[in-house]
Chains A and B, each alone.
Chain A
């Protein structure tokens, strides 16, 4: 008698199960690959091309047709004119063609060179149309009474055009000009530095505020749920709403509420331009230093807007810690601070690490907040804002994609570092 062993080959039931799983996952795969992973890779492609925003509209053959002079009686000699041009300012079009069906009631004369007439269809093959090139095709014709009667004019049937335009996006030419441009600019390293400042302090701020808020609400009292709901407002409200509310609140002009408050309380003499001033110089012991005003403001906004998230997670973790440990500590005479330091904090380390990791990456990715608050001005341009500025403000898609590639690579490095050092549990 042999010992029963588990089957080594995959049974049909198992195969069926796997097949079902793949079928259920295919839609997700398709959409994620085409909308997320595809574009991610496409950035590498675009970043190696000298492509401008205007290049997205490819060169095409434009045509305008007219019958001159306007016929009034049967038997008149007229000319059917096609005015053809290349819409592009820089790219040639190869194999440019024009196809049109002529209206009834016209006796067509000699059709000129690149064109041929079969039945009532005109077909012209122009070959290569240089950039901005225009040319006219003139076809003589005689008007019959039928044309005047039936009311169908040449323009009523649209002339079809076609041609192979050189599309920068799909060509096989590559260059590193975009990267050269991005890295050579002295600005790039400033932008990178600002990005790191923003990410580190924004993350730390949101975590510390979240930890404080969780401490506040980790006791039960009347109105606790109300306060918890209120504390989540900044996170739940749309970013445009809160960003514009901050912009108006911090306005340095005559209508700025916060500056008016500070001045009324005697805290400052004149209005502070929280979002528009790059740096406020000050000196300590004779050393001249600068306080990055606008950058600090956007960091404070980031901490304000995202502390609710860390607050929620930390509070949930705190409430899952049993009361017994605190009771035991209480009996042993541990003070509240000792209890926090020796019991709460170690218990929270896991979630704090995970939160730090996630928030760090998301803060680094953040675009909307800074874009809406300052537009990247006054020393607040981060890498993500730079992507937008290069691609859409300067209209250089290639350079924008190059910055996007840098963003992606930096993120990749962060992720590798984090996953190497992050704890395995909690989530």
Chain B
């Protein structure tokens, strides 16, 4: 009874891993090398199943390293034999180096996955507890692979497309191999053209200007407001602190028509000033909400001591509260920057002139049949990289700030 159970589970795990890794490695091989392969998913599934069953029956008793080696070697040998030395459905003659590496990686990953699934398993107790541990381990492992691929694939395609040319992609959309011998000027040609022919330098400057100014304006409005809501007593304080986030529920698309009408007649449309009025108005409520939460958490004794020592309220805010809130200010600033940088709707509706375009608006203007795809994707990369770099740099601040009470959809 116990035997069939474990064998069955091992076979299932092995089959899944064999197939999943074959799909992943097979596609990666295609994308990286440009070889058109026909990954033998069925064979991989079969090999994985056999290895998994065997592993759970016998190899559980091995020491860790030995198990891994045996499993991987087994996978490698089996793959070569059953596919008649065409591990990816094509003759080893085309791209032997890439195919060998891919094959070894596949076998290694299958072995590693099975072995990690086995860790700590002694081949004895098969209680419900043990079974669940094994099953969850398998699911988590598959989850990691799936999530990583699903998240990374669009970004990978974005970067790689920007480095290729439309003709080669139309010929074979799976070939993302990069020819490094062509030199950097040719490799980054679409980027160079964006900045020389498509005004992306201006767009980048506009985006940076609008985002940075939005951050400062927002903070200038939100800091005093947040301080008042957090520390001062006045009529309507409770109502205000509860309802401030409601403003954030108002969709931008509902505001667009009236603002478009008024801004058109006031001459604020088609100007960065117009954006600098709208962006802070939409970010101030969140910023105020985030900051007041933080201000409340600060010990009020410090401020009272300042007041007793003769500082004015403004002095207290400038000399005591703000220096203590630097982390919160940083996270709010980053968050507001992110919103302003990524904003699309108002930029799209308001800006008509090329010299006014922000990056969002500029990239949309590349979305036409006359502009080749690599330019569109290069524009997307240019718009993405600054905000991603900033985000990764200050990730800790942003994450704590976001989870401290505010979110944006």
Contacts and interface: CB of A to CB of B under 8 A. Distances in A.
Interface of A: 14, 17-18, 20-22, 24-25, 27-28, 31-32, 34-40, 42-43, 46, 51, 56-58, 169, 212-213, 215-216, 227, 229-234, 236-242, 244-246, 248-249, 254-257, 259-261, 264-265, 304, 306, 309, 312-313, 316, 333, 335-337, 358-359, 361-368, 372, 384, 387-388, 391-392, 397, 400-401, 404, 407-408, 411, 415, 427
B384 A18 contact: no
B274 to A, nearest CB: 10
27 contacts: A18-B233, A18-B234, A20-B313, A25-B229, A28-B221, A28-B225, A32-B247, A42-B258, A51-B261, A216-B143, A227-B148, A238-B380, A238-B387, A241-B363, A242-B380, A244-B367, A264-B174, A265-B26, A306-B409, A359-B409, A362-B249, A365-B253, A367-B345, A384-B253, A392-B349, A407-B253, A408-B254
5 nearest interchain CB pairs?
A362-B409, A35-B281, A365-B251, A241-B380, A39-B258
Contacts of B125: none
Contacts of A313: 403, 407
A46 B377 CA distance: 39
Given A31-B221, A397-B257, A361 B249 contact: yes
Given A36-B281, A43-B258, A248-B157, A260 B174 contact: yes
A401 B257 contact: yes
Contact of A17 (B233, B240, B373, B407): B233
Interface of B: 23, 26-27, 30, 36-39, 41, 128-129, 132-133, 136, 140, 143-144, 147-148, 150-155, 157-158, 161, 166, 169-170, 172-174, 220-222, 224-225, 227-229, 232-235, 237, 240, 246-247, 249-262, 264-265, 277-278, 280-282, 284-285, 288, 313, 338, 341-342, 344-345, 349, 359-360, 363-364, 367, 373, 376-377, 380-381, 383-384, 387-388, 391-392, 395, 399, 402-403, 405, 407-409
Contact of A35 (B260, B278, B360): B278
Given A24-B225, A248-B158, A264-B174, 16 more contacts: A21-B237, A22-B228, A28-B225, A35-B259, A43-B254, A216-B144, A237-B155, A237-B388, A238-B383, A244-B363, A245-B157, A248-B376, A265-B41, A391-B260, A397-B257, A411-B250
Contacts of B407: 309, 313, 358
Contact of A237 (B128, B143, B252, B384): B384
B228 A20 contact: yes
Contacts, number: 286
B364 A240 contact: yes
A56 B264 contact: yes
B228 A238 contact: no
A347 to B, nearest CB: 15
Given A39-B259, A230-B152, A415 B157 contact: no
Contact of A387 (B155, B253, B360): B253
A309 B383 CA distance: 21
A238 B284 contact: no
Nearest to B344: A368
Contacts of B36: 264
Nearest to B23: A265
A21 B27 CA distance: 61
Contact of A411 (B26, B251, B256): B251
Contact of B234 (A22, A51, A254, A391): A22
B254 A18 contact: no
